[in-house]
């Protein structure tokens, strides 16, 4: 379906009507909703409860525990409501009731503080029977409910939802409001034409979309609220199909038939490079190089993932591929997530290519660059006119003002730090860009499909020979003095040491405080030892100096934040200390640990944890002690922390799903992919494709397709 135009089919227009059409939503409320939820009914329908409260009626007051929700019928025995007094804000009203249906009467008090008492007097009258629902507390041996959530008369008992969804709140809206507008929105759901095939619906016993989305907000029983209920599963399946459609369409856009001449045979240059290398490629590396070379010389665009554990030697494979891809006028780029890594790759590559007369350039973001404006413009110009053939850089490489003479290969290093958007955008910088994405974190194929779509795979299975097992220690922070002593001893024996400081989630500033404090502490503890400091907020010059001093052994300790997590390659460093290791994902520690053990020298990694680690958290860390195998480690991350840890951050756009729980729904992925392939095959199904792409239009990949 190459000529697909993405447009909203008419029969779902109603889902895209403004929330202004809902009673209770005016301009002011709309502004609030727009910001947190979105402007349309569909956005509200996709605003999911975080939990549910069970309000099925309790048959008796006897078996209720403090703190539980109680829903029961009571008779009002006594009403003590003082006259309302503005000045006395702490008015206490107490209504004494007895449970109905009890053998022996059981008392339950209903209590209000400072409430408008006239209102209370209207609803509570001695002798009436009412239904209340709220949190039960046991107070001085008596049962009570303070400010019940619901008080209704017996014949309107259905006003209390049996299973009440609880939504995430934000300033200006409360549960009752969301509940009210949600119920109206549900009533506005149009009849949509089924887009899933009969076979799929039969296989999973799915209900239609309207029912499924309704049940998320109005569950009939506890089972309906589970992540693997047929309703939730159906919605997740739809989302997976939309995801797979977009992945297939993006791949179509990326892969073209190359009518250019195949790149020159650069074997002479590559021979020369081999001669300059301080090592010989492993057999495994050579195989992978051949696979990639074949792809590059093929007419069809390459979309390939190179997977190899940390330290397996992916960079050299990337460089050789880049050399295979340059020819008269055509260029290769290496896109990396951090400036430190960009600098490092640039320096390595420049050195290796110096004897070959190949121009290499480094491009960082304007504000970060140590080039002055003029120099930076020159770099950009020489990329545009084809003067440089090999380009290394950060996100700056895909910015609007950077154009290429003829980009033929883009290598994306540490791709889990990037999203589908960046991968796509770099391919749009040329008419026929081959892509090679490199990753150290192995992921199961089905998961890879959701984040990257279908790619050919190359795997480096073995590390270069001579590498030794990294000895890993898991120690409480209280042992820091012993660690310091052994660090001192190691430095006397010529070791270089990384010291990584606690990562505090979402708080770069606190990270900085921690890393600065540690730097000060270590500097005063080791007055005669040079120590460097590196973190993300430094400018390029300071960063480069810190890393370089460490690399050449001028400083012996490099205190760092997780900026060194990916890629940094200083083979002489042999000890890695990680503080508050319990805050990291296992794969992340494995990456960090991979900064050492890069030569044939014995290396070690010390994981310090804050005291009182739970047994589970401790056994997690112990996994790292037991294995060096990145695959086993990422499997454990998948089990313990979910796919987010493995696929990359939310910000990278790899996991911005609404209904899909990749852990729970991963078995649906192959079927969803087949469904997507079938839908795209048939021109008559365009409106179905369009419906799916429209209702999930907030997804990053779909936004891209729509040119957003
Ligand atoms: P990663 O796969 O983690 O990106 P690198 O490409 O940074 O690994 O390689 C790790 C280290 O191994 C580097 O210092 C590199 O020079 C070295 N290296 C790569 N290939 C070989 C090899 N075949 N023999 C010995 N050392 C190698
Ligand atoms: Mg690397």
Q: Which tens digit of pLDDT belongs to each residue from 354-377?
A: 998 899 999 998 776 666 788 899
pLDDT of residue 105: 77
Q: Decide if 596 contacts 605 (C-beta within 8 A).
A: yes
Residue 506 confidence (pLDDT) above 70: no
- For 578, the 3-state DSSP assignment is strand
Q: Which of 127, 160, 193 is the last residue of a domain?
A: 160
Q: Which of 627, 642, 668 is the last residue of a domain?
A: 627
For residues 629 and 282, the model is more confident at: 282
Residue 440 confidence (pLDDT) above 90: no
CB-based contacts of 115: which residues, under 8 Å, 6+ apart? 91, 93, 147
Q: Give, using CA atoms, the residue closest to atom 5 of ligand 1.
A: 313
Pocket test for ligand 1, best of 281, 286, 311, 319 (most atoms within 8 A of CB): 311
Q: Residue 570 — φ and ψ, nearest 5°?
A: -130, 90
Q: Which tens digit of pLDDT belongs to each residue from 253-297?
A: 888 776 555 555 688 888 999 998 999 999 999 999 999 999 988
Distance (Å, whole) CA 365 – CA 169: 38
142-146 vs 360-363, strand pairing mode: unpaired
pLDDT of residue 378: 93
Identify the sign of the CA torsion 366, 370, 373, 378.
negative
Residue 316 confidence (pLDDT) above 90: yes
- For 206, the 3-state DSSP assignment is coil
Q: Which residue has the tokens 């936004």?
A: 703
Lowest mean pLDDT among 6-10, 120-124, 559-563, 651-655: 651-655
Classify residue 567 by its DSSP letter. Answer: S
Classify residue 612 by its DSSP letter. Answer: S
User: Which ligand is closest in space to the CA of residue 318?
Assistant: 1
Residue 27 confidence (pLDDT) above 60: yes
Residue 177 C-alpha to ligand 1 middle, in angstroms?
58
User: Which ligand is closest in space to the CA of residue 316?
Assistant: 1
Res. 88 pLDDT band, cuts 50 70 90? low
CATH of the domain at 516: 3.40.50.300
Pocket test for ligand 1, best of 285, 312, 313, 468 (most atoms within 8 A of CB): 313
| Residue 310 CA, closest ligand 1 atom number | 3
Query: DSSP letters along 298-346, please?
Result: SSBPPEEEEEE-TTS-HHHHHHHHHHHH-BTTBEEEEE-SSHHHHHHHH
Residue 517 confidence (pLDDT) above 60: yes
Residue 463 C-alpha to ligand 1 middle, in angstroms?
8
CATH of the domain at 116: 2.40.50.140
Phi-psi region of 310 (alpha: psi -120 to 50; beta: other; left: phi over 0): beta
Q: Which tens digit of pLDDT belongs to each residue from 520-563?
A: 999 999 999 999 999 888 887 888 899 999 999 999 999 998 88
Classify residue 18 by its DSSP letter. Answer: B
pLDDT of residue 373: 83
Residue 569 C-alpha to ligand 2 middle, in angstroms?
8
In the predicted model, what is the mean pLDDT of residues 577-588?
A: 88
Q: Decide if 338 contacts 563 (C-beta within 8 A).
A: yes
Distance (Å, whole) CA 575 – CA 602: 9
Pocket test for ligand 1, best of 460, 464, 570 (most atoms within 8 A of CB): 464
Residue 567 C-alpha to ligand 2 middle, in angstroms?
4
Neighbours of ion ligand 2 (CB under 5 A): 567
Residue 310 C-alpha to ligand 2 middle, in angstroms?
7
Residue 647 confidence (pLDDT) above 80: no
Strands lying side by side in the sheet with 303-308: 360-363, 390-393, 331-335, 407-412, 434-439, 303-308, 456-460
Tokens of 109: 């008090």
Q: Is residue 549 part of a domain?
A: yes
pLDDT of residue 99: 84
Res. 349 pLDDT band, cuts 50 70 90? very high
Q: Is residue 649 part of a domain?
A: no
Residue 651 confidence (pLDDT) above 70: no
For residue 489, the enclosing domain spans: 470-627
pLDDT of residue 157: 82
Q: Residue 434 — φ and ψ, nearest 5°?
A: -75, 140
Tokens of 535: 């973190």
Q: Give, using CA atoms, the residue closest to atom 9 of ligand 1.
A: 313
Whole-number percent of the chain with pLDDT over 90: 56
Residue 405 C-alpha to ligand 1 middle, in angstroms?
31
Residue 284 C-alpha to ligand 1 middle, in angstroms?
12
pLDDT of residue 86: 62
Residue 582 C-alpha to ligand 1 middle, in angstroms?
28
Res. 394 pLDDT band, cuts 50 70 90? very high
Q: Decide if 599 contacts 551 (C-beta within 8 A).
A: no
Distance (Å, whole) CA 141 – CA 397: 70
pLDDT of residue 444: 76
For residues 22 and 99, the model is more confident at: 22
Query: DSSP letters along 443-474, please?
Result: --HHHHHHHH-S-EEEEE-SPPTT----EEEE
Q: Is residue 89 part of a domain?
A: yes
* Residues contacting ligand 1 via CB (< 6 Å): 279, 281-282, 285, 308, 310-316, 440, 464, 569, 571, 598
Q: Decide if 378 contacts 302 (C-beta within 8 A).
A: no
User: Which ligand is closest in space to the CA of residue 311?
Assistant: 1
Res. 198 pLDDT band, cuts 50 70 90? very high
Res. 298 pLDDT band, cuts 50 70 90? confident
Number of domains in the chain: 2
Q: Residue 153 — φ and ψ, nearest 5°?
A: -80, 160
Q: Is residue 328 part of a domain?
A: no
pLDDT averaged over the chain? 88
Task: Quickly count helices (H) and strands (E) in the chain.
Answer: 25, 21
Q: Is residue 64 part of a domain?
A: yes
In the predicted model, what is the mean pLDDT of residues 663-687?
A: 91
For residues 656 and 530, the model is more confident at: 530
- For 590, the 3-state DSSP assignment is helix
Classify residue 499 by its DSSP letter. Answer: E
pLDDT of residue 639: 67
Residue 512 confidence (pLDDT) above 70: no
Q: Decide if 353 contacts 360 (C-beta within 8 A).
A: yes
Residue 1 confidence (pLDDT) above 80: no
Residue 441 confidence (pLDDT) above 90: no
Q: Is residue 475 part of a domain?
A: yes
pLDDT of residue 396: 95
In the predicted model, what is the mean pLDDT of residues 640-653?
A: 57
Q: Which residue has the tokens 């000060």?
A: 520
Q: Give, using CA atoms, the residue closest to atom 16 of ligand 1.
A: 313
CB-based contacts of 347: which residues, under 8 Å, 6+ apart? none
Phi-psi region of 495 (alpha: psi -120 to 50; beta: other; left: phi over 0): beta
Q: Which tens digit of pLDDT belongs to each residue from 590-608?
A: 989 999 988 888 999 999 9
Residue 498 confidence (pLDDT) above 90: yes
Residue 374 C-alpha to ligand 1 middle, in angstroms?
35
Q: Which tens digit of pLDDT belongs to each residue from 230-256?
A: 999 999 999 999 999 999 998 888 887
In the predicted model, what is the mean pLDDT of residues 628-642?
A: 76
Strand boundaries in 537-662, DSSP class E:
557-560, 573-578, 604-609
Q: Is residue 481 part of a domain?
A: yes
pLDDT of residue 523: 95
Q: Which of 627, 656, 687 is the last residue of a domain?
A: 627
| Residue 318 CA, closest ligand 1 atom number | 6
Length of the chain as a residue count: 708
Q: Residue 182 — φ and ψ, nearest 5°?
A: -65, -45
- For 531, the 3-state DSSP assignment is strand
For residues 639 and 665, the model is more confident at: 665
Is the pTM for the entire model greater than 0.95?
no
Q: Which helix (H) or strand (E) holds 408?
A: strand 407-412
In the predicted model, what is the mean pLDDT of residues 186-203?
A: 95
CB-based contacts of 84: which residues, under 8 Å, 6+ apart? 91, 116, 117, 118
Q: Is residue 252 part of a domain?
A: no
User: Which ligand is closest in space to the CA of residue 334?
Assistant: 2
In the predicted model, what is the mean pLDDT of residues 510-516?
A: 75
Cα–Cα–Cα angle for 702, 306, 262, rounded to 5 degrees: 85
């Amino acid at each position: 379906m190459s000529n697909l135009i993405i447009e909203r089919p008419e029969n779902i227009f109603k889902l895209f009507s403004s929330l202004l059409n809902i009673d209770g939503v005016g301009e002011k409320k709309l502004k609030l909703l727009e910001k947190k939820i979105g402007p349309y009914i569909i956005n509200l329908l996709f605003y999911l409860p975080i939990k549910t409260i069970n309000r099925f009626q309790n048959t008796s007051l006897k078996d209720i525990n403090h703190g539980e929700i109680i829903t029961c019928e009571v008779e009002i025995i006594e009403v003590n409501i003082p006259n309302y007094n503005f000045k006395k804000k702490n008015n206490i009203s107490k209504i004494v009731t007895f449970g109905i249906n009890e053998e022996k009467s059981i008392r339950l008090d209903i209590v209000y503080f400072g409430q408008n008492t006239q209102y209370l007097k209207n609803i509570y009258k001695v002798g009436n029977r009412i239904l209340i629902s709220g949190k039960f507390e046991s107070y001085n041996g008596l049962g009570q409910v303070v400010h019940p959530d619901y008080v209704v008369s017996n014949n309107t008992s259905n006003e209390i939802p049996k299973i009440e969804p609880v939504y995430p709140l934000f300033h200006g809206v409360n549960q009752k409001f969301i509940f009210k507008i949600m119920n109206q929105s549900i009533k506005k759901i149009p009849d949509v034409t089924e887009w899933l095939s009969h076979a799929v619906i039969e296989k999973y016993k799915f209900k239609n979309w309207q029912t499924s989305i309704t049940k998320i907000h109005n569950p009939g029983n506890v089972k309906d609220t589970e992540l693997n209920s047929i309703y939730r599963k159906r919605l997740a399946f739809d989302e997976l199909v939309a995801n797979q459609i977009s992945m297939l369409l993006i791949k179509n856009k990326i892969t073209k038939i190359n009518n250019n001449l195949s790149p020159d045979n650069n074997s002479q240059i590559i021979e020369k490079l081999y001669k300059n290398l301080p090592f010989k490629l492993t057999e495994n590396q050579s195989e992978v190089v051949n696979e990639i070379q074949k792809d590059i010389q093929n007419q069809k665009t390459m979309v390939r993932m190179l997977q190899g554990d940390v330290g397996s030697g992916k960079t050299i494979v990337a460089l050789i591929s880049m050399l295979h891809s340059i020819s008269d006028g055509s260029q290769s780029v290496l896109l990396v997530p951090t400036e430190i890594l960009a600098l490092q790759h640039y320096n390595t590559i420049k050195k290796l290519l110096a004897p070959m007369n190949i121009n290499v350039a480094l491009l960082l973001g304007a504000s970060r660059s140590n080039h002055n404006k003029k120099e930076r413009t020159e770099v950009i110009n020489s990329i545009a006119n084809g003067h440089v053939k090999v380009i290394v850089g950060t996100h700056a490489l895909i910015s609007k003002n950077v154009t290429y003479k003829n980009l033929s290969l883009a290598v994306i290093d540490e791709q889990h730090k990037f999203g589908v958007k960046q991968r796509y955008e770099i391919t749009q910088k040329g008419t026929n860009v081959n892509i090679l994405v490199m990753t150290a974190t192995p992921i199961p194929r089905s998961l890879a499909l959701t984040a990257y779509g279908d790619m050919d795979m190359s795997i480096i299975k073995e590390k270069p020979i001579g590498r030794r097992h990294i000895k890993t220690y898991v120690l409480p922070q209280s042992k820091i003095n012993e660690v310091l002593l052994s660090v001192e001893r190691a430095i006397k024996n010529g070791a270089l040491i990384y010291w990584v400081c606690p990562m505090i989630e979402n708080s770069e500033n606190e990270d900085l405080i921690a890393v600065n404090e540690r730097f000060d502490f270590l500097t005063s503890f080791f007055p005669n030892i040079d120590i460097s400091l590196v973190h993300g907020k430094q400018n390029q010059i300071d960063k480069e100096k810190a890393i370089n001093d460490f690399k050449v052994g001028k400083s012996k300790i490099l205190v760092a934040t997780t900026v060194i997590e990916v890629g940094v390659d200083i083979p002489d460093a042999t000890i890695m200390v990680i503080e508050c290791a319990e805050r990291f994902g296992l794969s992340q520690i494995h990456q960090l640990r991979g900064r050492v053990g890069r030569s044939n020298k014995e290396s070690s990694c010390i994981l310090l944890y804050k005291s009182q680690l739970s047994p589970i958290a401790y056994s997690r860390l112990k996994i790292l002690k037991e294995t060096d195998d990145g695959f086993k480690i990422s499997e454990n991350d998948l089990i313990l922390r979910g796919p987010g840890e493995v696929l990359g951050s939310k910000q990278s756009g790899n996991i911005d799903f609404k209904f899909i729980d990749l852990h729970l729904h991963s078995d649906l992925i192959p079927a969803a992919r087949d469904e997507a392939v079938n839908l795209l095959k048939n021109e008559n199904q365009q409106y179905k494709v369009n419906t799916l792409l429209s209702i999930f239009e907030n997804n990053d990949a779909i936004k891209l397709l729509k040119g957003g």
